[in-house]
Amino acid sequence: MKFTVNRNLFLENLNNVMRAISSRATIPILSGIKLDLSEQELLLTGSDTDISIEIKIPVSEDLTVESTGSIVLPARFFSEIVKKLPGKDFSFEVKQSFQTQIISENSEFTINGLDANNYPRLPEIPDDSSFVISGKTFREIINETEFAVAIQESRLVLTGVHFTFSPDKIHAVATDSHRLASRVLALKNGPQTKTDLIIPGKSLQELSRIIGETDPKVKVCPGDSQVLFEIGNISFYSRLLEGSYPDTERLIPTESTTTVKFDLSELSSALDRASLLTHAGRNNVVNLTLDTEKQTAKLSGKSAEIGNVEEDVAFKDLEGKNLKISFNPDYLRDALRASVTDSVIMNFTQPLRPFTVNPDKDDVAFVQLITPVRTY
């Protein structure tokens, strides 16, 4: 196996494959990266069993092949070597006993590899039920929901986002049982049959980074236990979470007794200041007091060790009953970061009942739910 390749081209693709490689691989060979060279292309593969990424680099002026073959190399060392090579191009040759020589200008490395035949095979997922969506749309809906997945694995199904794909829309829901994010976006040429997938939050984080700021077409191929996303020359596999996702629609209140509209930046800044002290205490709780008669909105927080903070927050509209509610400020901060409008409408029912954060736009189907904290 021998080839010469442009270092920048190779490194760009190598960095994407590295997203699938864990430093704590349960199967030793998965701490390596697989290189498979044919007359037509170089295939790079990385996997941690939850995520697998395969990238094709076609033979061109930037990639010339002398002899074909395959090898698995230690991913971290190989990646660091390629990053630090001095030249524009480098040559790569596998010699006896899987020893691999990497040469660029006056720099030469020899590292030990492993037999690629021992590397696990990627699943074969048919594309008969596949469909294509906009990368921008998919990245948007990931970023607006993924942050609300559960981190603890006591209920594994909640560590993923529940996607429902229909011919004309995509609905994503995430909850950790303390907060919830539910987003619906229009979809053109979605699957003809309704498709439900629960995709781990960690997989979606990496997928969002690979999609990036551009708007590539993303081909979605659902399988039984895995889903494949094809983005250009990248194939991104993720395992699916098994189980029934809870019926979250019934959790969202349909009525409210108190409603307030805040400017997004005003509320975010005030929340940052109010939580400065609460983060230092054992109980990270901020209070919001709404007085509809005096037309005031007040954020407050305290830390027994440091002191307390109180601030009047400007608002655009306030109506309904007086209310005082306590909540985790980090949950509201995440909700505001995910907001798609410059102002938000918060709807409340009772001090100990969940409240919603909604965009200030009727045609945007985006609801975020936050459970308050009992302070007495």
Q: Determine the pLDDT at residue 279.
A: 81
Judge if 38 and 110 occupy the same domain. Answer: yes
How far is 369 from 334, CA to CA, in rounded Å?
11
106 touches 86 (CB < 8 A): yes
Domain membership of residue 124 (yes or no) is no
How far is 290 from 81, CA to CA, in rounded Å?
59
Cα→Cα distances 166→190, 193, 262, 350, Å: 6, 7, 33, 35
pLDDT at 347 over 80: yes
Q: What is the mean pLDDT of the chain?
A: 94
Q: Determine the pLDDT at residue 213.
A: 83
182 touches 173 (CB < 8 A): yes
Domain membership of residue 72 (yes or no) is yes
Which of 92, 118, 144 marks a domain boundary? 118
Domain membership of residue 376 (yes or no) is no
Judge if 201 and 157 occupy the same domain. Answer: yes
Judge if 9 and 113 occupy the same domain. Answer: yes
How far is 203 from 361, CA to CA, in rounded Å?
30
Domain membership of residue 88 (yes or no) is yes
- Please tell me the total count of domains within the chain: 3
Per-residue pLDDT tens digits for 104-147: 999 999 999 999 999 999 999 988 889 999 999 999 999 999 99
Task: Please report, for the domain that includes residue 262, its CATH number.
Answer: 3.70.10.10
Q: Determine the pLDDT at residue 107.
A: 96
Q: Determine the pLDDT at residue 54.
A: 97
71-88 average pLDDT score: 96
How far is 264 from 160, CA to CA, in rounded Å?
27
Judge if 138 and 162 occupy the same domain. Answer: yes
Confidence of residue 156 (pLDDT cuts 50, 70, 90): very high
In terms of Cα–Cα distance, which of 319, 312, 315, 314 is closest to 259?
319
Q: Determine the pLDDT at residue 367.
A: 97
Judge if 305 and 205 occupy the same domain. Answer: no
Judge if 257 and 363 occupy the same domain. Answer: yes
Judge if 263 and 343 occupy the same domain. Answer: yes
Domain membership of residue 247 (yes or no) is no
Task: Please report, for the domain that includes residue 56, its CATH number.
Answer: 3.10.150.10
Domain membership of residue 343 (yes or no) is yes
Q: Determine the pLDDT at residue 214.
A: 84
Judge if 321 and 283 occupy the same domain. Answer: yes
Per-residue pLDDT tens digits for 265-309: 999 999 999 888 888 767 789 999 999 999 999 999 887 778 888
Q: Which two tokens stand for residue 227?
A: 């889903």
Boundaries of domain holding 335: 253-370
Q: Determine the pLDDT at residue 322.
A: 96
| Residue 221 CB contacts under 8 Å (≥ 6 apart), including other chains | 125, 126, 127, 129, 130, 227, 228, 229, 230
Judge if 342 and 234 occupy the same domain. Answer: no
67 touches 92 (CB < 8 A): no
Domain membership of residue 202 (yes or no) is yes
Q: Determine the pLDDT at residue 23.
A: 80
Domain membership of residue 125 (yes or no) is no
6-35 average pLDDT score: 93
Confidence of residue 24 (pLDDT cuts 50, 70, 90): confident
Which of 74, 96, 118 marks a domain boundary? 118
Higher pLDDT, 97 or 326: 326
Judge if 365 and 262 occupy the same domain. Answer: yes
Q: Which two tokens stand for residue 260?
A: 């307030």
Judge if 303 and 339 occupy the same domain. Answer: yes
Q: Determine the pLDDT at residue 154.
A: 84
Judge if 259 and 184 occupy the same domain. Answer: no
Q: Determine the pLDDT at residue 218.
A: 95
Q: Which two tokens stand for residue 49?
A: 């069993």
Per-residue pLDDT tens digits for 101-112: 999 999 999 999
How far is 167 from 188, CA to CA, in rounded Å?
7
Q: Determine the pLDDT at residue 152.
A: 85
Tell me the one-letter amino acid at 29.
I
Which of 83, 118, 153 marks a domain boundary? 118
